[in-house]
Structure 1
């Protein structure tokens, strides 16, 4: 393998220039990732703000921190710094946190974050942001001016640091993609087909530069797929992937499949099987009963369409549900799978038990009573 260090740029449909080297290729893969997306708040370009990338360069704990954005990154870091001892305020335009997650799951996380000391100011717009004293810079504090939508009230906040966590955008500019015949959008990224080919069939793309599923494990799955498709005549499809994800707050929120909103939009009839952790012995022992397992199943069957788990190790527990969806294993099957006792994972088995109980119709119950009575 030859490694060329430097900034790469396409100069034609089959050539890349790296420094003074011009490389001709039969196949190429674009894996340039993404970067933090910064909203156009007046004055934001005049201050030194933090992102999920620059945050790790901090050498001192900020006494007071503002987090702009309440998605996964914003919530994870806000809760962590509150536990470290910072006074943390989360600001968001929407009136709820974790806007893409299940409403009940988001509410559990919010209550947990508040118990850790995180303060929320939701439903706000940003008027301006800047240094309190430009001559002192960050050392003099950062002033954020916000307006509360409902009260129409303007408020000023003075903080030591500002973390901007309003999503990510793809790295697609200044790469010569136009010369390579690769179509792209600066917001949505590189256009790819189901085999991860770009508009140039000999150029593939993987990861944050071309997908809305911006997770490390998704980039890994896409990279494996491109190796098969580009080098070994494979026909693996991205649409066949079952993609789980997890938000690493406390408790964690893990999800796989469709949400209720997705099912309603697609007009798919479904049933909800929910098991709260306040009936789980391990959760009771650890005094962590805030959480649940929620299964969305196709109406009239046990086919799993989606699942949300809220618990201390939800990211580990979602794996067996992902496997079930991938292999088309029904929810009822879990009732017969032995889980170690006591574990939070038993809640998944309890969901299988709960589904099986729904199959006991009045007629089947009456029949069962007769059978048991006859065997006495």
Structure 2
């Protein structure tokens, strides 16, 4: 779609989740919209992030189940027509099947994010590299384009830590690990965050000897009790952890990469996965030309309405300093598009749920600690959860953080499908629901989500145990007893 004066209403730089949502939202509002993508639409989420990682985690889960089944079948009784089972001790046939599953998942989802789909939605898609050259003017591979407003959605990429000798090691990142033809015999993982833990567990389940080298703690942002459950599960899969001892150097000999830690230990690997953070893709965009400020790490500085320091330029997704989640990128880009095209003042909620898709999953939202006694805590261990007992998955917990008036301000869930259970908890935090209100909602039984409900019930009942509440209840019970006795013609001492 072109405007009458040849000036587009919204120029979108980047074709990942933020760019796609921002561009299609603007087009749906009737604005002329151009989206520029230098590589392929769909972004990290489709090609190297959410979709492939979750697909390989699902395949790894099936691989573990298959190996457990094989463990209970005598070798002489196994046949070649047993679907999903492999006698290959190094799991390579399972890994090959996993790679095919990853490709299949991407191919099914890709058409939704394709240039053809975007064009059908009213977005003019241009392939190339864009940069700002003057206020209201950008350049796409040498061709100029005028715009009224712009949305920067160029995303982020894996960062490479400044470790001496790292260039000598055989390394992959979350973007390139999918190019491996087989699971390495020994995998070193540098980093302890969600990406590091998810991929570490997946490759361990495909037979790799995995060692996680974390600068601080594994999953440092999460509740420590919940993180401990995940760690125990990963260790059961064969993952070895070295925490609070950063890698000081790398060396390589005969195809073997060796990491030397600050504690003096050394660890060998055939492949090293670098999962130590990400950096924004802002280089070469010409941001300084149009007065768009960035922080010390290179992220575009945007307010809660997603406007940059240039009022005509907006930013959303991983290129900003906001948490790097696909769901937040989409919400932020939608708000930016509405604000840019309609002049609205939509803000993006600060209640941002997060899930690490290990087995078990760990999911959290809002405040996740008691804050030195500022908040109450209500915890349900999943060994007390009927669904977890019936499924044989008692290792887990649901923990609510509760503020004044019984309002739920955050919480953590660790267990199977914790991300699904987190949805209700996220709504409770966003809407300021109290444990009493949540406890009063009828829930289906038995589900893993009973953890959230039971934790709310436990807190609501605890409030009835306070001296003040007991006094009030005593008065009410006696008054009710007296009234009933009067109605029924009984004498009463009350």
Relative to structure 1, the CA distance from residue 180 to residue 356 in structure 2 (aligned partners, 3 Å threshold; closer, same or farther) is same
Match of 2:24 in 1: none
- Given candidates 178, 188, 191, the residue that maps to 1:66 is 188
RMSD, aligned α-carbons: 1.9
Asked if 1:303 is matched to 2:407, the reply is yes
- Given candidates 106, 119, 142, the residue that maps to 2:257 is 142
- Which stretch shifts more, 119-128 or 312-321? 119-128
User: What's the offset of the Cα at 1:195?
Assistant: 1.5
Q: Is the 8 A contact 1:332 1:352 kept in 2?
A: yes
Q: How many pairs were matched up?
A: 358
Match of 1:352 in 2: 456
Q: Report the TM-score when normalising by structure 1.
A: 0.90
Alignment gaps of 5+ in structure 2: 1-122, 486-494
SS at match of 2:124: coil
- Given candidates 281, 288, 312, the residue that maps to 1:178 is 288
Match of 2:301 in 1: 191
Asked if 1:274 is matched to 2:379, the reply is yes
SS at match of 1:124: coil
User: What's the offset of the Cα at 1:72?
Assistant: 0.7
Match of 2:62 in 1: none
Q: Is the 8 A contact 1:173 1:186 kept in 2?
A: no
User: What's the offset of the Cα at 1:225?
Assistant: 0.3
Asked if 1:97 is matched to 2:218, the reply is yes
CA distance in 1, matches of 2:230, 2:375: 25
SS at match of 1:26: strand
Asked if 1:338 is matched to 2:479, the reply is no
Runs of 4+ in 1 over 4 A off after TM superposition: 367-376
- Given candidates 321, 332, 343, the residue that maps to 1:222 is 332
- Given candidates 343, 351, 358, the residue that maps to 1:242 is 351
- Given candidates 242, 246, 257, the residue that maps to 1:121 is 242
Asked if 1:208 is matched to 2:318, the reply is yes
Written as runs of structure 1 = structure 2, the 5 A alignment for 1:281-300 is 281-299=386-404
User: What's the offset of the Cα at 1:367?
Assistant: 4.3
SS at match of 2:314: strand
Greater share of helix: 2
CA distance in 2, matches of 1:369, 1:160: 72
Q: Is the 8 A contact 2:409 2:432 kept in 1?
A: no
Query: What CA deviation, in whole Å up to 9, does each residue of 1:255-312 have, x standing for no partner?
Result: 1112327x45xxx82111111111111101111111111111114x211111111111
Q: Is the 8 A contact 1:65 1:159 kept in 2?
A: yes
**Larger of the two Rg values belongs to structure:** 2
User: What's the offset of the Cα at 1:368?
Assistant: 6.3
CA distance in 2, matches of 1:186, 1:19: 28
SS at match of 2:126: coil
User: What's the offset of the Cα at 1:186?
Assistant: 5.4
Asked if 1:85 is matched to 2:85, the reply is no
Match of 1:155 in 2: 265
User: What's the offset of the Cα at 1:3?
Assistant: 2.3
